[in-house]
Structure 1
C-alpha cells in the first residue's frame, strides 16, 4: 500500500506513534500532519495543525487521508466533512488489515468488560499449545507494531476500534454487552451497534460468545446465522477448566467464564486442552483489574478499570465472605446504579465511600436499598481513603471499583489506580 497524498494523524497517543513509525518505514518522504484536541502533539517529523484550523486545512486539501486514534470519536463533525470532501478516514487497525491481514489467522475479541482478560488468556493458551501467536490492540502492541511477526494474531478491540473495522476476523468473540462509552458514541444504541459491528457483517467467520453475551438479544441478532457459533465445551473440558481456575490467580466467577470463552476460541484455533490448562496456570491479573495488595493486614483491591456498574458487581462477587469497604463513583455516563445498590449488602459491603459525580446517585440509591450500610460522600479519592482509615474496624477489605470512568478527577484509570494503591500503603501499611 502507498499513500499518494499527505496524511493527517488525529490524536497523538500510542497508536499515532505506531502509525508514524509505519509511514516512516514505508514512505520516508511522506508529509505527515498531526492534530490533537488539546495540548501539543509530541510526534517526531510531523507538522501540527490545530483543531481550530482543521476545517480550513481540510478545505484546502492539505492532506488526503486521516488516520484517527481510537480515543477520538468518529462522530466528530470534522470526519463527516472529510468524507464529503473525499478524504479517507482510517485507523491503525485498518492499515494493519490492508498491509498484513492476508495469510494470517485473526482472532478479534471485544465486549464491554472482560475482553482484555479473555484476550490475554487466549494468547497464553495458544502459545502454551505451541502455536505462533501474538497479542495486539488495547493490550499488547498496537496493530501496526505487531505487523507480520506471527502467523496468528489475537486482537483485543474496544468499541472505538470495532466501529469502523473494515476487515473480517477468522474468529470473532464477544464477552458481554452493557451500556458504556456513551460520550464517545453519542447514544447507548450507537454504542451497541458499533460494538456489534465486529460480528454483524456478511462473511465467513466463526463467533464465540461469553456467558453473558449468549443471553443478550442484541448479540443474538447481530450474530445473524447461529451456525457461525463455535461448539460448546464438553463437560470434561469445562470441569478441567474449573479445576485449573480454582488453583490459579483468576478471581471471581466472571473470570472463570472468561477462561471458558478463551478455551473455546483456543480449541477452534488448533490449541490443546493441555495448553489451555497451562495458560490458566500462567495467567497473572492485569494491572488495575482486581489487583490485590495487603497492607497492615488490610486487603486492598485495585479495580480502577471498572467503569460500569456491572464491573463493580463482578468485583464484589469475587470476594465472598469478606467485610468490604467499597469506593465507587466517577465521571458521568448516565448509567443506572439502582441494581448495584440493591446488591451491596448481600455482597458484604459494610461501608460505601462515594466519589463525584455518579457517586451521588449511587449513595442515594444505597440509602434506600441498604440503610444499614454506612455511606460517606467524599469530594475526592484521598478524602475517601482517609475517611475509611478512621473506620478500619468495620471491614477487612477495601475495594476501589468505581463503576465509572476517571476523567473528572484523573487523567485515566491507571493514574486513579496507582493513587489508590499508594494511599492504601500509606494509610493501612503502618
Structure 2
C-alpha cells in the first residue's frame, strides 16, 4: 500500500512556496508545529512578511519608530506585535498620576523619555524589563517646578528647546558625554510676556517659535563665546503649530483660526515669504512632515489630512468616526500615523496606504478623577514600535503592545457593534 504524503514530508523549497500563500494567522499556527517549520518560517518567511508591516516594519532603519524602539525585536515578535496593534491588544500603564490639571509635553528616545512637570523638564531612563516602562526616579532635571509652565518642547541632536506659558523660550545644549547642560539661553518672545509659546522647532542653528501674537525665525550666534539668538525674520501671527521640513528649506505652519479657510501655510526659507496652501480648513492643531513634499495635519474639523505640495491639494482626508477634533499627530516614519483626539484620551491609528479608513481606535481605561478623566484630550502622542505614550490632563498613559496575553479591545467595526446593541 502506497504511503500517503503529509506536509512534513515536503522539501524546504516546496514548503516556502506554500508558506508564501499563507496568511499571518496561518503562519503563526504553523510556527508551532515543529522546529523545522519554525526555522523555515523564522529565517525565510517572517523576514519578508514583516518588512513593511504597519508600525513594526524594518525596511527603513532610519524611521522614527524604529530608532526609538528599546527592544531588539525578532521577526516573529514583529508579526505578533503588528497583530496586537491591529486588534487592540495591549497592557495599559498609568504613570505620574497628579491631583492638579497638568498635561505634560514629552520627547521619546531609544534610551530616555523627556517629560515636563509644570515648569521643570525631567529626563527618565526607559526600562527593558517586562511590565516596567520607566525607572521612576528621573536621571536629570532641568529648571524648577515653580518656573512658568512648559507649553511646548522639542529636541534636535543635543539641543533641547523649551517654550513657556509666560512667552519665554529656553535653549539647553548638552554635551554628548555629559547630562548636565553646558550652555543655556533664555529669550523673551513678547515685550509684555502676554502670549504663551504655542510651538517651537529647531534644525541645526536655526530656530522657529510661534505664539498667537507672532511667528519668529532665529539664528543661533556667538559673541565672545557667549551664545544668543538673533532674529532673522517675522513670519506672521496666529499660528498654533510650526515645523521645519526635512531638508530645512521650508517651514509648514498651521493657524489656530483662519476665517478664509486657509489655515495651512508654507514659508520658503530662501526668501522668508509666506504662502497659503489650498487646504480647505479653518484651524490646525498639529502637523508633521512625511517627507519634503508631503505634510500630515490634524484639524479642528475632525479630519486628519495628507497634503501634497506638488499638487497643492489634500490628496487624502480621513474623518474621525465620532466627529471629534484632532489634537495631536505622531508619524512613525513609514506608513503609520497615530492621532490624539479631543475626548476620552482616545487615539486613532491610520495607515497611509489605506485611504478614508482608520485601522484601530484605542480607548484607555478611565479610572482616575471621576468624570474629569472622560473629558481629557490626548494632548500629545508619541510611539515606538511596541509602545504608545499618551499625555492627558492628569497622567501619562502608556499602552504596551508587546503583550500577547492582554485582552482584545477591537473597535474596527464600531458601527456594526452599535447596531447589534440597538437591536
TM-score normalised by the chain length of structure 2: 0.28
Q: Rg: which structure is higher?
A: 2
In terms of fraction of residues, the more helix-rich structure is: 1
TM-score normalised by structure 1 residue count: 0.28
Q: Which has the higher strand share?
A: 2
